[in-house]
């Protein structure tokens, strides 16, 4: 079975393997492996990807001997490699005077400044006059010094000696010291001029036509256009098919128009204050500096390259992990579809390029978090190229107040990332720096940083006056000739272009802009059509919450048993075998009736995953300790106790994919409408899907952003991010605010991301009790007037608090069985994971069953001598079981029904009305109907769902009935940290519920 799986997965495991999976597993089982941490370095686990390794040859004995004999020369050369960047001409404004670097003086190493000759073998590569690839055996000290200065102290500075990997350091030394600085052809230089001139003309046009618009122009850093163009071309030449680009506001419009072919009439339509979407589409739109596009660019080699610029929020650097997640997901998809080719390596087909501001790169913690993901096997995208557009100022803050390091790029050194600093005043040097960065990334599949040191001609925006705080800096800037004009003059002086040619080019581009502005008055936004992998899906205008997500029970029994099946010879932990594996198998025996089994949450989750995998969907669950589960409940990956070899049984399913269709169809609640049929995507992959378990680093911001990016790529992958505890999501609040909750509303980009948040008050204290449901509900967009038909219910996301394993099973499957995608927030279980009453029969998973946004009371309490009208208690979450237990232990003298609101958003208006009508007439009619209605919650009154449900629920109550609140009093902290106080509070609110 494992051999067949390995063959089927071959396209996914492109990195070079040390051993094939079957051999590795066999070796691990027989103890023939060295005592390594197999669990941490297991290439047999699906999705485990590491960059290919490239090893430079070691020094020969002759080289080692010469390094000993010329140790002083070696130390001198190393000083240039380490410290040369400090002597470079990097600052176009010369704000910081260049200092003499004592470490670069030959006398400090006992070397003369002239007159000596040295053997260079194994020390330094100085090319022969007629062949730079061949190193001279000897050179004079004068030649050595000149070579080192030209290589390491020009207008490009290099930092690479901090890299831990010796092969990477040696590659940089050889690359920089072996070759002449790259020369550019006439056509390449003309291309650079055109990019620079277009950017400058565009900014001038905008200043003239739209002087009051904050466009965040590129003046002062126009070389960024050359940098990006070079990266795109280099990527295209090396076989990259798709490039994911993220960038902040500075220069964004320049890139859109001049590199990515964004239609001018569409842009000017937006600039004039119009919506970028048709008025009948459910989108609010976004500001000018957040626009995005996707374009196919052709550089004349290997077909076009698709560049996908992502929408960005104003929260600087928040887009970074989203872009990396999107890039990884895209490459994984290309592998799975076979489009990448059988010999594909990680990073061969997709490249992530991230642009940053200097102050943001060193100031925003998400940068560090995202860098920390870059080499992790379940998060790497094969290396990103980072471009810091260094304006040498953050809004109005100078570098001395914005960072504690020498360079803004220094945070990259935490992952051994090489850094290339370049003076933006020299476009050809910028192109050379981009070439080196691309070569390194292509060779080692790791991140690399280019620090483009430039300036900002205007303030933070064109309406800002920067001289208020930086008068001398801006006196310098305003006296300078622009970079495009300076480079143009250079080409005219060298007779590559004439003054007439450059003027004509600028005039022509200005006329094109004028024409685009003229056409914008007739421009009408085109309808949004989902394309590519999203073809067949829709942008919904109304909510569909009840979908037939049941599955054949015979199939579920089989895949449930296989979810804990282990290879022969595998040694699980004895407690895992006794309390997890054996009980699951017993509950899913063929001779046990569907309505007699009692399935727990972990089993329901495994059945949801397995059934989706069997239907061709991929599943990815990410977060801290998700393989085992925070509460030791999931165990969806099992680690061998003898070898630490990891097995994920769900990736070894061995059953027919055809649906058996032998189990009966169930109808749960006759007074509710029948569920909608499940959506069947005609483009659904025909082979079985795979489960990726991504145990993450201790990060919330970057990891959630990464998973959101994964979810954007393809609708056929269920993507889940799980918090260790529910309230830990607040470390990623920005991702929730600007992407998850509002991405579709702003940009019409759909995401089916599932955010799983363990929730429930159990005395664990202020930080481990609440998933802060109120914050999510505050971000929800459902109308307050639930009876109004003027505003359609099209939820921006779903918020659920399921109370049974079957409900959890169905809500996960619902994510994949609709013809649209919405984010799903699940207030998941803690105590309920092992609660004896929180179980579900297999019949609750059968065809015809669905996720129920509202669960009626299965056994309404009607005392023998009932008197007075009935009470209806609405509750959400695990508190239901405590209320029900109290009702059974101390039955009240009046009729009581406890109704569970399983889906808080969208609020189940229709179902609540139906249930209240049924209770009032059919159940409690003979007792005087419904006399009181209470909302009961564990959270303080200023938290939980109360503020969201109060107005909506009260509008649905019988006339004259008021909604009462029962719960904790308002509080600054979600819960007490004193266990005795928690018990008193909990008992009191339960007692009040029945008082």
How confident is the model over 524-535, as pLDDT tens digits? 999 988 888 899
Residue 341: predicted pLDDT: 65
Residue 42: predicted pLDDT: 64
Mean pLDDT of 565-575: 95
Residue 606 sits at the vertex; the CA angle it makes with 605 and 607, to the nearest 5 degrees, is 90
How confident is the model over 72-118, as pLDDT tens digits? 999 999 999 999 999 999 999 988 777 889 999 999 999 999 988 99
Residue 616: predicted pLDDT: 92
Indicate whether 986 pLDDT > 70.
yes
Cα(487)–Cα(482) distance, integer angstroms = 9
Q: What is the b/e burial string over 678-716, where b = at least 16 CB atoms within 10 angstroms of the residue's CB? A: bbebeeebeebbbbbbbbbeebbbbbbbbbbbbbbbbbb
Cα(894)–Cα(502) distance, integer angstroms = 90
Residue 772: predicted pLDDT: 96
Residue 22: predicted pLDDT: 33
- Could you give the dihedral angle defined by the CA atoms of residues 397, 403, 406 and 407, in that order, rounded to the nearest 10 degrees? -80
Concatenating the DSSP letter of every residue in 220-273 gives T-THHHHHHHHHHHHHHHTT--EEEEE--STTHHHHHHHTS---HHHHHHHHTT
Per DSSP, the three-state class of 669 is: coil
Indicate whether 134 pLDDT > 80.
no
Residue 9: predicted pLDDT: 32
How confident is the model over 350-395, as pLDDT tens digits? 999 999 999 999 999 999 999 999 999 999 999 999 999 999 888 7
A 10 A CB-CB count for 834 gives 16
Question: What phi-psi label fits residue 347: left (phi over 0), alpha (psi between -120 and 50 degrees) or beta?
Answer: left
Please classify residue 124 by burial: count the beta carbons closer than 10 Å to its beta carbon, then call 0-12 exposed, 13-18 middle and 19+ buried.
Answer: buried
How confident is the model over 158-181, as pLDDT tens digits? 999 999 999 999 999 999 998 677
Determine what percent of the chain falls in helix, strand and coil, rounding each to the nearest 5: 40, 15, 45
CB 928 within 8 A of CB 920: no
Indicate whether 13 pLDDT > 60.
no
Cα(446)–Cα(440) distance, integer angstroms = 8
Handedness of CA 120, 121, 127, 130 (dihedral sign): positive
- The rounded mean pLDDT for the chain is 90
How confident is the model over 803-849, as pLDDT tens digits? 999 999 999 999 999 999 999 999 999 999 999 999 999 999 999 99
Cα(938)–Cα(932) distance, integer angstroms = 20
Of all residues in the chain, the percent with pLDDT exceeding 70 is 93
Tokens 């992530």 locate to 352
Give helix then strand counts, H and E, for the chain. Answer: 31, 26
Indicate whether 25 pLDDT > 50.
no
Residue 6: predicted pLDDT: 37
Higher pLDDT, 781 or 791: 781
Residue 208: predicted pLDDT: 95
Residue 11: predicted pLDDT: 32
Cα(94)–Cα(99) distance, integer angstroms = 12
Residue 135: predicted pLDDT: 79
Residue 955: predicted pLDDT: 94
Tell me the pairing of strands 638-639 and 393-394. Answer: unpaired
Range in 14-28, 419-433, 753-767 with the lowest mean pLDDT: 14-28
Structure tokens, 564: 């804990």
How confident is the model over 866-900, as pLDDT tens digits? 877 999 999 999 999 999 999 999 999 999 999 99
How confident is the model over 307-348, as pLDDT tens digits? 999 999 999 999 999 999 999 999 988 877 666 666 677 889
Indicate whether 762 pLDDT > 60.
yes
Tokens 């910028």 locate to 430
Indicate whether 204 pLDDT > 90.
yes
A 10 A CB-CB count for 415 gives 16
Residue 873: predicted pLDDT: 98
Residue 14: predicted pLDDT: 31
Cα of first residue to Cα of last residue in the chain, in angstroms, is 60
Per DSSP, the three-state class of 750 is: coil
Indicate whether 471 pLDDT > 70.
yes
A 10 A CB-CB count for 75 gives 15
Give which of 130, 148, 146 is closest to 75, Cα–Cα: 148
């Amino acid at each position: 079975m494992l051999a067949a799986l390995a063959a089927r997965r071959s396209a996914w495991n492109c990195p070079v393997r040390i051993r094939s999976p079957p051999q590795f597993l066999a070796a691990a089982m027989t103890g023939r492996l060295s005592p390594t941490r197999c669990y941490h370095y297991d290439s047999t686990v699906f999705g485990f990807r590491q960059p290919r390794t490239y090893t430079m040859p070691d020094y020969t004995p002759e080289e080692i001997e010469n390094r000993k004999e010329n140790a002083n020369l070696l130390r001198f050369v190393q000083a240039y490699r380490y410290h040369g960047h400090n002597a470079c001409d990097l600052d176009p404004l010369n704000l910081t005077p260049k200092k003499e670097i004592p470490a670069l003086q030959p006398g400090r190493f006992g070397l003369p400044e002239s007159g000596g000759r040295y053997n260079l073998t194994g020390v330094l590569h100085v090319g022969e006059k007629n062949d730079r690839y061949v190193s001279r055996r000897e050179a004079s000290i004068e030649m050595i010094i000149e070579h080192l200065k030209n290589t390491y102290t020009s207008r490009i500075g290099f930092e690479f000696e901090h890299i831990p990997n010796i092969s990477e350091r040696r590659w940089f030394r050889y690359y920089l010291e072996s070759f002449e600085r790259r020369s550019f052809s006439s056509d390449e230089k003309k291309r650079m001029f055109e990019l620079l001139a277009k950017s400058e003309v565009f900014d001038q046009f905008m200043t003239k036509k739209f002087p009051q618009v904050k466009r965040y122009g590129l003046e002062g850093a126009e070389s960024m256009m050359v940098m990006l163009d070079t990266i795109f071309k280099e990527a295209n030449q090396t076989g990259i098919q798709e490039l994911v680009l993220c960038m902040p506001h500075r220069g964004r419009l320049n890139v859109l128009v001049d590199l990515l072919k964004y239609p001018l009439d569409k842009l000017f339509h937006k600039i004039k204050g119009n919506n970028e979407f048709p008025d009948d589409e459910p989108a609010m739109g976004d500001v000018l500096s957040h626009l995005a596009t996707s374009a196919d660019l052709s550089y004349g080699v290997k077909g076009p390259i698709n560049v996908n610029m992502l929408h960005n929020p104003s929260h600087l650097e928040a887009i970074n992990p989203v872009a990396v997640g999107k890039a990884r997901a895209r490459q994984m998809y290309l592998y799975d579809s076979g489009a990448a080719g059988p010999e594909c390596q990680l990073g061969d087909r997709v490249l992530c390029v991230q642009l940053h501001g200097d102050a943001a790169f060193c100031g925003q913690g998400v940068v560090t978090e995202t860098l920390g993901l870059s080499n992790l096997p379940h998060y790497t995208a094969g290396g990103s190229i980072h471009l810091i557009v260094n304006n040498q100022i953050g809004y109005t803050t100078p570098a001395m107040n914005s960072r504690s390091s020498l360079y803004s790029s220094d945070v990259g050194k935490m992952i051994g990332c090489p850094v290339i600093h370049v003076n933006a005043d020299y476009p050809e040097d910028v192109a050379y720096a981009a070439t080196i960065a691309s070569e390194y990334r292509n060779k080692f599949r790791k991140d690399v940083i280019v620090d483009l040191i430039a300036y900002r001609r205007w303030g933070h925006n064109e309406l800002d006056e920067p001289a208020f705080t930086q008068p001398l800096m801006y006196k310098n800037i305003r006296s300078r000739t622009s970079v495009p004009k300076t480079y143009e003059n250079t080409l005219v002086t060298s007779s590559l272009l004439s003054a007439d040619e450059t003027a004509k080019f600028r005039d022509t581009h200005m006329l094109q802009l004028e024409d685009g502005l003229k056409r914008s008055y007739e421009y009408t936004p085109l309808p949004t059509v989902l394309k590519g992998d999203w073809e067949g899906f829709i942008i919904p205008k109304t909510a569909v919450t009840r979908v037939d997500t049941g599955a054949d029970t015979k199939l579920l029994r089989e895949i449930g048993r296989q979810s804990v099946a282990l290879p022969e010879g595998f040694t699980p932990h004895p407690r895992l075998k006794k309390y997890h594996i054996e009980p699951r198998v017993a509950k899913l025996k063929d001779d046990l009736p569907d309505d007699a089994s009692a399935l727990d949450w972990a089993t329901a989750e495994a059945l949801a995953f397995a059934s989706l995998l069997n239907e061709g969907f991929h599943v990815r669950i990410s977060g801290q300790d998700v393989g085992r589960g925070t509460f030791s409940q999931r165990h969806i990956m099992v680690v061998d106790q003898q070898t630490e070899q990891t097995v994920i049984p769900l990736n070894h399913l061995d059953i027919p994919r055809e649906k058996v269709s032998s189990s009966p169809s169930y109808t749960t609640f006759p007074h509710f409408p029948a569920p909608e049929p499940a959506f069947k995507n005609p483009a659904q992959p025909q082979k079985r899907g795979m489960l990726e378990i991504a145990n993450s680093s201790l990060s919330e911001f970057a990891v959630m952003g990464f998973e959101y990016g994964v979810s954007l790529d393809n609708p056929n992958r269920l993507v889940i991010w799980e918090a260790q505890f529910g309230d830990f999501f607040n470390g990623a609040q920005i991702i929730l605010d600007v992407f998850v909750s509002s991405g579709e509303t702003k940009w019409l980009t759909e995401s089916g991301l599932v955010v799983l948040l363990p929730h429930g008050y159990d005395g664990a204290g202020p930080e481990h009790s609440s998933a802060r449901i109120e914050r999510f509900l505050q971000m929800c967009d459902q109308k307050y007037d639930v009876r109004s038909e003027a505003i359609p219910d099209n939820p921006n996301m779903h918020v659920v608090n399921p109370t049974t394993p079957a409900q959890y099973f169905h809500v996960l499957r619902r994510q994949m069985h609709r013809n649209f995608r919405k984010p799903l927030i699940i207030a998941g279980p803690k105590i309920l994971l092992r609660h004896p009453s929180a179980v579900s029969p297999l019949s609750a998973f059968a065809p015809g069953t669905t996720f129920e946004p509202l669960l009626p009371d299965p056994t309404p309490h009607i005392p023998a001598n009932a008197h007075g009208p009935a009470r209806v208690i609405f509750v959400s979450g695990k508190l239901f079981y405590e209320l029900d237990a109290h009702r059974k232990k101390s039955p009240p003298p009046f009729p009581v029904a406890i109704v569970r609101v399983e889906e808080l958003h969208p609020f189940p208006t229709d179902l609540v009305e139906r249930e209240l009508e049924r209770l009032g007439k059919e159940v409690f009619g003979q007792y005087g109907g419904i006399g009181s209605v209470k909302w009961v919650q564990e959270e303080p009154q200023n938290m939980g769902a109360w503020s969201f449900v109060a107005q909506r629920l009260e509008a649905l109550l019988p006339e004259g009935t008021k909604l009462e609140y029962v719960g904790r009093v308002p509080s600054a902290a979600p819960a007490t940290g004193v266990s005795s106080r928690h018990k008193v509070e909990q008992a009191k609110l339960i007692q009040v519920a029945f008082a």
